[in-house]
Amino acid sequence: CAGFTGLAVSPAFADVDATAKAVAAFGGGQEPGTGKITLTAPEIAENGNTVPISVSVESAMEGDDLVESVAIFADGNPNPEVAIFHFTPLSGEASATTRMRLAKTQNVVAVARMKDGSVFVDKKEVKVTIGGCGG
Amino acid sequence: MATPKPRIKLPKTADKGEVIVIKTLISHTMESGQRKDKEGKLIPRQIINKFSCEFNGQPVFSCDLEPAISANPYFEFSAKVMEAGTFKFTWVDDDGSVYTDEQPIKVN
Amino acid sequence: GQWARAAAQQTLTEDALLDFGAVGNVTLVHLTDIHAQLVPVHFREPSINLGVGPVAGLPPHVTGADFLKLYNIAPGSPEAYALTSEDFTALAGTYGKMGGLDRIATVLKRIRSEREGKVLFLDGGDTWQGSYTSLKTLGQDMVDLMNLLEPDAMTGHWEFTYGAERVREIIDGLPFAFLGGNIFDAEWDERAFDATKMFERGGVKVAVIGQAFPYTPIANPRWMIPNWSFGIREEEVAANVEAAHADGAELVVLLSHNGFDVDRELASRVPGIDVILTGHTHDALPEPVMVGKTMLIASGSHGKFVTRLDLDVQGGEIKNYRHRLIPIFSDVITPDAEIADAVAKSRAPYEDELKRELATTETLLYRRGNFNGTFDDLICEALLEVREADIALSPGFRWGTSVLPGQKITVEDLHSACAMTYPAVYRSTMSGKMLKDIMEDVADNLFNKSPYYQQGGDMVRVGGMAYAIDPEADMGGRISEMTLLKTGEAIDPGKDYVVAGWASINEETEGPAIWDVVEDYLKDHPVVKLAENRSVKVVG
Ligand SMILES: [Mn+2]
Ligand SMILES: [Mn+2]
């Protein structure tokens, strides 16, 4: 708890409303369900410049049981949009990992859009801290 | 910026029908367009905005990237291998540049 | 020495401490957070250790008289001395120092001879750092001496502050497993350390899964280990537990440096772990804490205790067990001659410097406690005076030994409070707003209601400034009434203050080493006498 000689000055941030709107737009206005999609991210970021995030959606990835795309949003960044993954039957599984920037502690939101139009969401708070201290 | 260098990790062989894991990295600063230089001027955005993976010409996985993606973009995803062939990876830069790489795979 | 008096009262004998009545087919021996203390020490347990949310008031968040009542321990007894801060100075006079690797060796050898082929000796980490000699040898003294004790596996935390290259060099030469299932290569996200080691003890297949401190690159300098990524990685733990069962493990042990509350949460969310040997938060609990079928063990720190856990494992289940947190009373347990000799040899080149006296203290110097400790008060006084600062910040570490009133403060004592690889004392200006942000950030790392967001340790120690804290509040709302002590004025968010502190995790930090700053201060203050610290008000 003593590494505090340079806190970043924050630019203007997206807000929770902008993120909700972006989620709704991606989901085509559908009320998202939960449970089918899992977003994995660290509880506390080791480095806000490169935070690993993974999504995984339960799906056979064939026929009508197909995940078309998964969008990632972050409600405390300058803009909520982070990435959109597009899957195909050749993906085999609807899972992907990338690394993202987090300007401060915020929620990361993952939204899956299925071929049948249904939408699923998961979110996780990732803390960005200045760190220090310990036992 | 130095020419971005892609790096790929995937198995050399797979069983027919096996779902394999593919990992990719490419060196790129992913200039977000939100940073300022020493004179206080905004540094213009230059990111990789699209990544895609095809197998024997068929789409496997792709991603639209925003400036929130970290420098040196990393992707890990899966692919179902039904036959021997070649994976082709493509990264599209804001400046129009396209970077590609290919990796073959055999089927046991 | 002092043991003579206790012996006369027949309160303590080696046999009474170590006679056990063996049970079952497997014995786990757990040692953790020794922080490089090779010889017996005084170590005062905390008088305040708050839990937040649902764990408020639950062990280990019980201290002092409440602790004695909870575990039915008589005030003034050896157990009371070992486990609480009650009457610490007086009882230290009666019962003497605790710990010492040679005494631990005696306990281990006795258990091993009694339980041949059944013992697993597991080291929970924070082993290589925390003393003058460990810093001088970059952990080598601890590595060599622990090797003589033949651990079966270890995990780590402060080990990593020797840097990736040194850690690799040591681990490559270790004759036992260094496990860290939650450590991954930061570039390709691949396992950087072994997660699990399988053992057979007493005919039982035992899987030991290692969990290093999840927040090592956050609480300690990331630049020292740039290619390793940590984290709790609950899904990895679950997968490793499942794999261990699939490989035929009848007993699954998590050798963890998560910290107690994180492990309690993990045990409630990940099925199939039989025993979690906890570490990092330095809690010493005389009984296991059960979470469903998972047994949580807390074995203290600084070599004060060793846990012996006998298990009767039948058909993949613990049918019976016997547990003891064995207090290592150094005047009671006979030192093992071989290890005593090796410790003495290892310390010999440094002995004169270790013994060099810097000052006398009239106040009990200790560190443990959520908000302040007298040793930290002394460090903060030194930072304010020597670095001519308005405000001092000192990290809330839980390691460091105690010095009794009337004793000399030696180089060894001072280093046991600050021996580390990033000791530079910075001096910089910070706005009142920045100070508030820092205090809020650190407080949230300790008191976030979700254990997975906690980093262990204690609140940053502050000199020259008073404040109030409501641990149960949300981030941003915990800290209030920040006041500059030298003027009595409220801290102004828009005003700049000169702040001195140490243990910055930033690579470019410049300044003299903390031990030099404190030594300078002690030259002008040969007798340390500290007023009670009333600068932190706990509210809510
Ligand atoms: Mn420790
Ligand atoms: Mn620790």
Q: Could you tell me where the beta strands, DSSP code E, fall in C16-103?
A: 26-31
First-residue to last-residue Cα distance in chain A? 11
* Residue B87 falls inside a structural domain: yes
CATH number of the domain bearing residue B31: 2.60.40.10
Residue % of chain C over a pLDDT of 70: 98
pLDDT of residue C2: 42
pLDDT tens sequence across C94-143: 999 999 999 999 999 999 999 999 999 999 999 999 999 999 999 999 99
* Owner of token pair 């609140």: C459
- Residue among C455, C459, C430 nearest A45 (CA): C455
The three-state DSSP-derived secondary structure of A17-36 is HHHHHHHHHHCCCCCCECCC
Average pLDDT, chain B: 96
- What are residue C185's DSSP bridge partners? C228
Structure tokens at C134: 């460990």
- Residue among A50, A40, A46 nearest A70 (CA): A40
The DSSP 8-state label assigned to residue C125 in this structure reads S
Residue range C433-460: average pLDDT?
93
CA C399 to centroid of ligand 1, rounded, Å: 6
- How far is C-alpha C453 from the chain's CA centre? 19
> Which of B23, B24, B78 would you mutate first to test chain C, the one with the most C CBs within 10 A?
B23
* Residue B17 falls inside a structural domain: yes
* 3-state DSSP helix/strand/coil % of chain A, to nearest 5: 10, 40, 50
pTM across the whole model: 0.95
Ligand closest in space to the Cα of C32: 1
d(CA C222, CA C229): 9
The answer to whether the CB atoms of A98 and B71 lie below 8 A apart is: no
Q: Give the sign of the dihedral formed by CA C60, CA C61, CA C62, CA C64.
A: positive
Establish whether the linkage from the previous residue to A80 is cis, with ω within 30° of 0: no
Q: Min CA distance, A89 vs chain B (Å)?
A: 7
- Judge whether C189 is closer than 8 Å to chain B, CB to CB: yes
* Owner of token pair 């000791």: C423
Asked if residues C87 and C76 have their Cβ atoms less than 8 Å apart, the reply is yes
* Residue B108 falls inside a structural domain: no
Q: Is the pLDDT of residue C49 over 60?
A: yes
Ligand closest in space to the Cα of C258: 2
- Judge whether A9 is closer than 8 Å to chain C, CB to CB: no
**C456: confidence class by pLDDT, cuts 50, 70, 90:** confident
Which residues of chain A fall below pLDDT 50?
Answer: 1-10
Average pLDDT, chain C: 96
Query: In chain A, which residues have their Cβ closer than 8 Å to the Cβ of C452?
Result: 43
Cβ pairs A/C, distance under 8 A: 125
Q: Rounded to the nearest 5 degrees, what angle is found at the Cα of C224, between the Cα atoms of C221 and C225?
A: 105
* Residue B46 falls inside a structural domain: yes
* Residue B90 falls inside a structural domain: yes
- Judge whether B5 is closer than 8 Å to chain C, CB to CB: no
pLDDT tens sequence across C481-505: 999 999 999 999 999 999 999 999 9
Sheet with B18-26: list strands edge to edge: A37-40, A51-57, A94-100, B74-81, B18-26, B6-9
Q: Is the pLDDT of residue C521 over 80?
A: yes
- Residue among A2, A10, A5 nearest A128 (CA): A10
Instruction: Report the DSSP pairing between strands C177-178 and C153-154.
Output: parallel
CA C428 to centroid of ligand 2, rounded, Å: 28
Sheet with C527-528: list strands edge to edge: C408-410, C357-361, C527-528
d(CA B25, CA C13): 63
DSSP H or E run through C442: helix C432-447
* Residue B22 falls inside a structural domain: yes
pLDDT of residue C218: 94
ipTM above 0.90, yes or no: yes
The answer to whether the CB atoms of B78 and A82 lie below 8 A apart is: no
* Residue B1 falls inside a structural domain: no
Q: Min CA distance, A1 vs chain C (Å)?
A: 5
Neighbours of chain C (3+ CB pairs under 8 A): A, B
Structure tokens at C117: 């082929």
Asked if residues A107 and A125 have their Cβ atoms less than 8 Å apart, the reply is yes
Q: How many residues does chain A have?
A: 135
DSSP H or E run through C276: strand C275-278
- Judge whether A115 is closer than 8 Å to chain B, CB to CB: no
Q: Is the pLDDT of residue C289 over 50?
A: yes
pLDDT of residue A3: 47
Q: Maximum distance among all alpha carbons in chain A?
A: 55
Structural domain harbouring B90: 6-103
d(CA A32, CA A78): 24
* Residue B16 falls inside a structural domain: yes
Instruction: Report the DSSP pairing between strands C465-469 and C536-538.
Output: parallel
Ligand closest in space to the Cα of C301: 1
d(CA C342, CA C346): 6
Asked if residues A48 and A101 have their Cβ atoms less than 8 Å apart, the reply is yes
d(CA C35, CA C38): 9
Asked if residues C394 and C453 have their Cβ atoms less than 8 Å apart, the reply is no
d(CA C108, CA C31): 10
User: What three-state secondary structure class fits C199?
Assistant: strand
d(CA B104, CA C243): 32
- Judge whether C454 is closer than 8 Å to chain A, CB to CB: no
User: What three-state secondary structure class fits B52?
Assistant: strand
Asked if residues A55 and A95 have their Cβ atoms less than 8 Å apart, the reply is yes
d(CA C22, CA C299): 19
The answer to whether the CB atoms of A101 and B80 lie below 8 A apart is: no
Domains in chain B, number: 1
Asked if residues C31 and C306 have their Cβ atoms less than 8 Å apart, the reply is yes
Q: C19 vs C77, C107, C110, C218, CA distance in Å?
A: 19, 10, 10, 43
Q: Min CA distance, A132 vs chain B (Å)?
A: 24
**C9: confidence class by pLDDT, cuts 50, 70, 90:** low
CA B22 to centroid of ligand 1, rounded, Å: 39
Q: Is the pLDDT of residue C428 over 50?
A: yes
pLDDT of residue B2: 80
Instruction: Report the DSSP pairing between strands C391-396 and C496-502.
Output: parallel
Q: Is the pLDDT of residue C436 over 90?
A: yes
Q: Min CA distance, B77 vs chain C (Å)?
A: 13
d(CA A109, CA A75): 8
Q: Min CA distance, C196 vs chain B (Å)?
A: 23
pLDDT of residue C457: 85
